[in-house]
Amino acid sequence: MISYSFPPIIDNFAKILILGTMPGKKSLEKQEYYGYKHNAFWKIMFKLFEKQYSDDYKNKIQLLNDCNIAIWDTLQFCERNGSLDSAIKNEIPNNFNELFLKFPQIKHLFFNGKSSFNYFKKYIGLNQNFIYHTLPSSSPAYAGLNFESKLNYWAIIKTVLNETPM
CA distance 119 to 121: 5
Residue type, 26: K
Residue type, 151: L
CA distance 83 to 88: 9
Q: Minimal CA–CA distance to 18: which of 44, 37, 47?
A: 44
Q: What are phi and psi of 123, to 5 degrees?
A: -100, -30
Q: Is 39 an active-site residue? A: yes
A 10 A CB-CB count for 164 gives 15
* 120-156 exposure pattern, b = at least 16 Cβ within 10 A, e = fewer: beeebeeeeebeebbbbbbbebbeeeeeeebbeebee
Of 39, 90, 97, 129, which is the active-site residue?
Answer: 39
Show which residues are catalytic: 39
